Structure 1
Amino acid sequence: MKDQASASSYDLIFQNVGRFIDLTDEEKDLFKSLLKSGSAKRKEFVMRPGKMAKYEYFVTKGCLKVYSLDRNGVEHVSMFAIEDFWTGDMASFMLEQPASYFIKALEDSEFLMISKESFEGLFQKIPKFERFYRNLYQRSLVSYIERTNQGISLTAEERYEIFLTKYPHIAHRITQKDLAAYLGITPEFLSMIRSKMSKR
């Protein structure tokens, strides 16, 4: 873990929050005081299932993979979090129950973290943050519903094309295996899709 984040890391999180709410300099200082900084080397785990999720994470550098394992040990990737993304195990963090997900660094990564205690204190001291996190969670829920519907109604090729359109800045930073686990297909099938698309 890092002891202190860079000024650019705080600038990034202030920009992220600023898309939904305006903060005074005093409120920014208070928010900053509640954040901790962390880091993880490539292939290092940030979180494992079974333990309580103590933090929500805001990525300032690198790429994190959030995934679960089924009973056969097959990976199911929920999301990739790069710079300017929030991630974590929301259910574990909010409901104080054991986490269901692994979070693993795919690149050397840095992030800012907020604990449950600081999270709740933030709402008391700066009530407008409730609006920010409500927007954040609503977007997360909509994204989850969209992915579920896509898994039911769209072909793997269509899901792959949507990923490329929605996350072009992520596609080149992850392996074919990890992307296949996100799409719910095998790496071999993804390779066939890519080959087919390249011939269009």
Structure 2
Amino acid sequence: MISVLFSHIEEKVALTKQDREKISTYFVAKKLRKKQYLLQEGDICKNLAFVAKGLLRTYNVDDKGDEHMSVFGWEGWWISDFNSFLSGEKAVFNIDAIESSDLLLISRPDYEALTLDVPVMDRYFRILYQNSLITKERRLMGSITYTAEEKYVKLAESNPQLIKRVPQNLIASYLGIAPETLSRIKKNLLRKR
């Protein structure tokens, strides 16, 4: 599992053998079964999770009981309720496994110690946060400016593996549309081809 993490880190920054040895001491392996929670709304998020294998989702539930998808996390992704993780406030998101998953967890104290002990990790996380901010800005802009069909097409083009792995009702929730609307969009797209 740790080799998947090292591969991901080395896409962004260079690691020495000593860096690798230190990094591996900060993480704890965790397995989740399908539908098992990593975090529930109202709890404090104590860990940042790296997905070595599997697929998770981050979502909240409104007063009517409707789920609203925020993020999918698959191999090579980090997932957490970042506000809760960084501030210690109660989580506003649930995180659970769509597929059985293998994770590497790092606690807040260990995260802070890691970035001091292995300075290149501070740069690595900064790059991740910058990329995450850009992605969220683009998603927000897309939710405002794109039609439902354009949202689906862009998601399918940028993340074809996600479309294959995630149930359609969750894709619809992520796009902010009804499952019936997604079915119509997919039928229309098939007709156009």
User: Same fold judged by TM-score > 0.5?
Assistant: yes
Is 1:82 the counterpart of 2:91 in the alignment?
Answer: no
TM-score (norm 1): 0.94
Please point out which of 87, 98, 101 is paired with 1:95.
Answer: 87
User: Structure 1 segments of 4 or more deviating over 6 A?
Assistant: none
- Report the counterpart of residue 111 of structure 2 in structure 1: 119
How many residues align? The count is: 192
Is 1:149 the counterpart of 2:149 in the alignment?
Answer: no
Q: Tell me the distance in 1 between the aligned counterparts of 2:93 and 2:117.
A: 31
Please point out which of 35, 40, 60 is paired with 1:43.
Answer: 35
Q: Tell me the distance in 1 between the aligned counterparts of 2:153 and 2:19.
A: 41
- Report the counterpart of residue 176 of structure 2 in structure 1: 184
TM-score (norm 2): 0.97
Amino acid at match of 2:2: Y
Amino acid at match of 1:131: R
Residue pairs, 1:1-200, within 5 angstroms: 9-200=1-192
Unaligned runs of 5+ in 2: none
| Percent of residue pairs bearing the same amino acid type | 32
Q: Tell me the distance in 2 between the aligned counterparts of 1:155 and 1:97.
A: 35
Deviations 1:81-125 (A, max 9, x none): 111111111111111111111111111111101110110001111
User: What is the root-mean-square deviation in Å for CA atoms of aligned residues?
Assistant: 0.8
Q: Tell me the distance in 2 between the aligned counterparts of 1:68 and 1:166.
A: 24
